């Protein structure tokens, strides 16, 4: 496996070093660290890493980290961007995703308490996939709707839907649910038709469709 | 009590003087009539003569009481006395008969003076006419006194004239013809002067003086006719106008009545002007609750004054709080002084005047109207001043309330930032440290690993709670992304379906957005907790210069902002921004919360 090169940006030194340590221990190579949005953009432009881990709030102020992350996705489509946020706000996640969900992730900062969760998300994003924090997806799934098509789903189908929205791979979901990949594929077909969605074979596009459905129907 | 002072042209008559003058003339009239009665004068003459003379006295007395500043009262009383002088002529009593004949008709001189005085004063051009009239009358008196000898005039039974030192028929007739001809001409001239002056008067003056001037001019015509009659009959031995009985009798009474028209006209004019004091009612109404803006108030008060006093030339100059004088349109001016065409009436006290009225001098003849106007105006201006003060205080209170809300808002936002950037970052730091410790503990130390996992879970919960706390204090997404995404978040987290309809394509001032957000948040909480609603609609629209926020549910209704502290607090927040919160919550028909928040 080739070494994954990462840039880390956070204005808090403690957190930056903590994240760097977890990623290094997980086999990432940290090529640069940045304390503000400008330094981050500069480092990404210079290093072209596989992954940029970005704090949503950074100098020069406000959600400058989020803005920088969006800028990286526009300028360097090959760089994966994982935003670490203290905000449980689906709007930020959807804003970050924009029109595509490849190489992007939105993770709440409390996931730093678990090295596995951070590494898992970082690897998925660096590999071209997506990682949306389960709590963010849960907030979308939880929302009460007037015409609630989600109510037509079984509990298991709803669980599968949430995992799809998080950007998990089919195999991972199947394992988690204790079913075969084949069964999962059948289940996801049912889910999509119950929601009235077109099933897309491309996984990333499927994630986006689900997220937009969840957001739009709310 | 506001008082008025004004330029007075005559010292006002005092009440005791009025009483003394009236009683004196009355006594004189009584004596005259009594003498006439015992001398055997015809009763109809006595009644008519006394009635005519007393009409003058009555009008004069009323004028002295109601118009102490006007010369008309004393002039009319004097005319009354002079009227009774002539009444001795026909009595046949020695001495007084000749005195009465010699000094009859002097009231015409007084009436001429009054007429000219009321039409703008006895000026340099009319004074000679008046003096000439007096001289002609004096000449006639002298002739009648010293030349007239009843015996030589063919009246042997008549009592002798004790003053006839130079009894001469020719001299008597000559002076009689000359003097009466002059009196006739001069009376006509004075009448014409009066009519011409009336045409050039201001509308105020015309209004109040027209009846007196018309009557005065007719009286002058009567005087001219009487004099002409004397001169003509003296020169030709024939009457000037020969009419058959009873027409000649009627004609004689008509000429007599011409003089009496003057006091009657004066009474009519006085009472009519008094009636106009009732015109203050529309003035008071016109002043009304105006005065919200000093400019506006000034203009509307000025218009009301001009209408009430009937003086289009009137100007109101008010004293501004900064010590300057302001015209009705609010422009600065210097303290005005009166001139020939307009005089100044001070409103308020002379030491601290509220305003000055520049108006037609003729208004002084209507003191009730002017006094009443001044008092009403003083009240109105004082009221206006107080109203301005209250408005200013209210504006200050409003501004300070808005500042308090803004400061509270800024404080909430600061707390939210501190929680996110301070406490929460530190907790994440601790979380990372725990994670490191956990990885070092490895799989071996089971007890330690379990303890670290428990601590991590606890810390995670703390981070989540802190996040909810910070969002409740002030949602960061409202600051970063605006009202739409913030309200969408509220809707997602609500325990019931919320239809959100936020139509905004712009960011609004922070305080407006925050207030709208908390209105929606509180209304949603109410709908979920108390109203047992199944569905809520949230609408946000910018309509011109305000943001309209509507939250409507299908619950039980019955929410009362007076009781629920949540809605009460919302109303306070909204009104602090000069907005309006309306809660429509009839039992059984759901609740509708409507807020209108001005966008500065």
State ipTM: 0.89
Nearest by Cα to A112 from A195, A42, A12: A12
Query: Is A112's Cβ below 8 Å from some Cβ in B?
Result: yes
Q: What is the DSSP-derived secondary structure letter of residue B81?
A: H
Q: State how far the Cα of B412 lies from the Cα of B44, in Å rounded to an integer.
A: 103
Q: How many CA atoms lie within 13 A of B28 on its CB side?
A: 22
Is the CB of B485 less than 8 angstroms away from the CB of A89? Answer: yes
Provide long-range contacts, Cβ within 8 A and 24+ apart, for B170-173. B171/B143, B171/B147, B172/B143, B172/B144, B172/B147, B172/B148, B173/B234, B173/B235
Residues of B in contact with A109 (CB under 8 A): 424, 428, 431, 463
Q: Is the dihedral of CA B409, B410, B411, B414 positive or negative?
A: positive
Is B190:B213 a contact under the CB 8 Å cutoff? no
Residues of A in contact with B493 (CB under 8 A): 139, 142-143
Chain A residue at shortest CA distance from B490: A143
Is the CB of A113 less than 8 angstroms away from the CB of B436? Answer: no
Angle between helices B446-473 and B425-441 (to 10 degrees): 170
Chain B residue at shortest CA distance from A109: B428
| Residue labelled with tokens 């010292």 | B11
Residues of B in contact with A110 (CB under 8 A): 428, 431, 459-460, 463-464
Q: State how far the Cα of B98 lies from the Cα of B83, in Å rounded to an integer.
A: 15
DSSP 3-state assignment of B353? Answer: strand
Which range is least confidently modeled, A39-53, A172-186, B330-344?
B330-344
Q: What is the DSSP-derived secondary structure letter of residue B150?
A: T
Non-local (6+) Cβ contacts of B53 within 8 A are B29, B80, B83, B84, B87
- A84 prior amide bond cis, ω within 30: no
Q: How many CA atoms lie within 13 A of B322 on its CB side?
A: 6
Q: State how far the Cα of B585 lies from the Cα of B361, in Å rounded to an integer.
A: 64
Other CB atoms within 10 A of residue A186 CB? 12
Tell whether pTM > 0.80: no
Among the partner residues A95, A148, A218, nearest to B492 by beta-carbon distance: A218
pLDDT digit string (tens) for chain B, length 600 residues: 333 444 334 455 567 888 888 888 888 888 888 888 888 778 888 888 888 888 899 988 888 887 777 788 888 889 888 988 888 777 777 788 888 888 888 988 888 888 888 776 677 778 888 899 999 999 998 888 888 877 666 666 677 777 777 777 888 888 888 899 999 999 999 888 888 877 776 666 666 677 778 888 888 888 888 888 888 888 888 888 877 877 877 888 788 788 888 888 888 777 766 566 566 666 666 555 444 444 444 557 787 788 777 788 888 888 887 888 888 888 888 888 888 788 888 888 888 888 888 888 878 877 777 888 888 888 888 887 888 889 999 999 988 998 998 999 999 999 998 998 889 999 999 999 999 998 888 766 688 888 999 999 999 999 999 999 999 999 999 999 999 999 999 999 998 999 999 999 899 999 999 999 999 999 998 888 877 888 999 999 999 999 999 999 998 887 776 666 678 888 888 999 999 999 988 888 889 999 999 998
Query: Is B481's Cβ below 8 Å from some Cβ in A?
Result: yes
Nearest CA-CA distance, residue A198 and chain B, Å: 24
Nearest by Cα to B82 from B107, B45, B113: B107
């Amino acid at each position: 496996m080739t070494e994954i090169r990462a840039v880390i940006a956070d204005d808090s030194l403690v957190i930056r070093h903590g994240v760097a340590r977890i990623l290094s221990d997980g086999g990432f190579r940290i090529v640069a660290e940045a304390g503000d949005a400008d330094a981050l953009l500069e480092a990404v432009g210079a290093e072209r890493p596989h992954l940029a881990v970005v704090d949503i709030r950074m100098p020069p102020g406000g959600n400058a980290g989020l803005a920088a992350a969006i800028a990286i996705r526009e300028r360097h489509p090959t760089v994966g961007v994982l935003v670490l946020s203290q905000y449980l706000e689906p709007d930020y996640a959807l804003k970050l995703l924009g029109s595509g969900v490849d190489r992007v992730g939105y993770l709440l900062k409390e996931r730093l308490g678990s090295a596995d969760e951070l590494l898992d998300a970082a690897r998925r994003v660096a590999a071209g996939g997506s990682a949306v924090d389960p709590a963010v997806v849960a907030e979308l799934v939880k929302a009460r709707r007037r015409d609630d098509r989600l109510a037509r789903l079984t509990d298991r189908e709803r669980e599968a839907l949430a995992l799809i929205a998080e950007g998990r791979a089919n195999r991972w979901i199947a394992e988690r649910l204790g079913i075969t990949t084949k069964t999962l594929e059948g289940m996801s077909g049912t889910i999509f038709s119950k929601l009235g969605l077109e099933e897309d074979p491309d996984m990333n596009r499927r994630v986006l469709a689900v997220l937009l459905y969840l957001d739009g129907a709310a | 009590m506001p008082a008025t002072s004004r330029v007075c042209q005559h010292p006002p008559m005092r009440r005791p003087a009025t009483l003394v003058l009236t009683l004196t003339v009355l006594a004189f009239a009584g004596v005259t009539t009594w003498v006439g009665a015992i001398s055997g004068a015809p009763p109809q003459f006595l009644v008519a003569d006394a009635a005519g003379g007393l009409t003058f006295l009555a009008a004069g007395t009323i004028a002295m009481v109601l118009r102490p500043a006007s010369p008309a009262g004393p002039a009319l009383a004097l005319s009354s006395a002079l009227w009774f002088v002539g009444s001795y002529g026909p009595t046949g009593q020695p001495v007084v008969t000749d005195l009465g004949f010699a000094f009859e008709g002097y009231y015409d001189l007084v009436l001429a003076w009054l007429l000219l005085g009321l039409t703008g004063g006895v000026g340099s051009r009319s004074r000679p006419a008046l003096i000439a009239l007096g001289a002609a009358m004096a000449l006639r008196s002298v002739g009648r006194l010293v030349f007239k000898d009843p015996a030589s005039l063919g009246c042997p039974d008549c009592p002798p004239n004790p003053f006839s030192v130079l009894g001469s028929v020719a001299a008597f007739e000559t002076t009689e013809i000359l003097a009466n001809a002059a009196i006739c001409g001069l009376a006509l001239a004075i009448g014409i002067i009066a009519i011409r002056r009336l045409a050039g008067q201001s509308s105020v003056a015309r209004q109040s003086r027209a009846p007196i001037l018309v009557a005065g001019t007719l009286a002058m015509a009567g005087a001219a006719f009487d004099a002409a009659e004397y001169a003509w009959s003296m020169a030709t031995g024939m009457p000037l106008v020969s009419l058959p009985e009873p027409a000649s009798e009627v004609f004689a009474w008509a000429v007599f009545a011409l003089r009496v028209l003057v006091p009657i006209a004066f009474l009519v004019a006085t009472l009519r002007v008094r009636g106009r004091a009732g015109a203050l009612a529309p003035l008071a109404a016109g002043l009304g609750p105006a005065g919200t803006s000093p400019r506006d108030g000034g203009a509307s008060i000025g218009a009301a004054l001009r209408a009430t006093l009937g003086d289009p030339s009137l100007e109101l100059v008010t004293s501004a709080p900064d010590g300057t004088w302001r015209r009705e349109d609010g422009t600065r001016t210097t303290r005005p002084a009166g001139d020939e065409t307009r005089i100044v009436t001070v409103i308020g006290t002379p030491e601290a005047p509220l305003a000055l009225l520049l108006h037609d001098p003729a208004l002084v003849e209507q003191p009730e109207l002017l006094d009443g106007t001044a008092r009403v105006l003083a009240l109105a201006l004082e009221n206006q001043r107080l109203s301005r003060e209250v408005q200013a205080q209210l504006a200050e209170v409003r501004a300070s309330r808005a500042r308090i809300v803004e400061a509270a808002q800024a404080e909430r936002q600061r707390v939210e930032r501190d929680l996110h950037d301070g406490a929460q970052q530190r907790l994440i730091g601790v979380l990372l440290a725990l994670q490191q410790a956990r990885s070092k503990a490895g799989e071996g130390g089971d007890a330690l690993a379990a303890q670290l996992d428990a601590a991590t879970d606890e810390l995670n919960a703390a981070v989540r709670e802190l996040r909810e706390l910070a969002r409740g204090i002030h949602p960061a997404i409202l600051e970063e992304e605006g009202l739409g995404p913030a309200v969408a978040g509220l809707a997602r987290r609500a325990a019931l379906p919320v239809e959100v309809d936020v139509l905004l394509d712009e960011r609004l001032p922070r305080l407006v957005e925050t207030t709208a957000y908390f209105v929606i948040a509180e209304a949603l909480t109410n709908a979920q907790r108390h109203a047992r609603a199944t569905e809520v609609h949230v609408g946000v629209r910018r309509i011109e210069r305000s943001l309209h926020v509507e939250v409507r549910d299908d619950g039980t209704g019955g929410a009362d902002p007076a009781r629920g502290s949540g809605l009460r607090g919302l109303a306070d927040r909204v009104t602090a921004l000069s907005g309006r919160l309306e809660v429509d919550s009839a039992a059984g028909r759901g609740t509708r919360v409507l807020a209108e928040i001005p966008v500065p």
